[in-house]
Amino acid sequence: MLKIYGIKNCNSMKKAFDLLTELGLSYEFHDYKKQGIDAETVKKWLDAKGAELILNKKGTTWKKLSEAEQQDALSSEAKLIETLTTHSSMIKRPVLDTGADLLVGFDEAAYRALK
């Protein structure tokens, strides 16, 4: 079963939900806003895909941090995990766990290849 992580009212998430539905793929949705995200899952993602892909530096939540806060968040993996679990909206969306791979960000071609 596919598991998709993100925030319900996000345009990228809506595109992902619509495409998964169109393709007839069933999925479980994990909403960061309601359910949060645990450090173990974030660490697994960072290990698999790296901070550059997981951390969304283009979002307003990241941009609202001071330079010092940004540097602190990037100072170690532990600090980054703490930052991402506290501010889950800084995680690039969506994260789709296929069981075999993680698709980070909405990529229509990659989603269509799941069929």
Q: Please give the positions annotated as active site.
A: 10
pLDDT given for residue 7 in this prediction: 93
Rounded to whole angstroms, the Cα distance separating 45 from 52 reads 11
What CATH homologous superfamily does 2-112 map to?
Answer: Glutaredoxin (3.40.30.10)
pLDDT given for residue 115 in this prediction: 81
pLDDT tens for the 115 residues of the chain, in order: 899 999 999 999 999 999 999 999 999 999 999 999 999 999 999 999 999 999 999 999 999 999 999 999 999 999 999 999 999 999 999 999 999 999 999 999 999 999 8
Instruction: Say if residues 11 and 106 touch (Cβ distance below 8 Å).
Output: no
Q: Where are the domains of the chain?
A: 2-112
DSSP string, the chain: -EEEEE-TT-HHHHHHHHHHHHTT--EEEEEHHHH---HHHHHHHHHHH-HHHHB-TTSHHHHHS-HHHHHHHTS-HHHHHHHHHHSGGGB-S-EEE-SS-EEES--HHHHHTT-
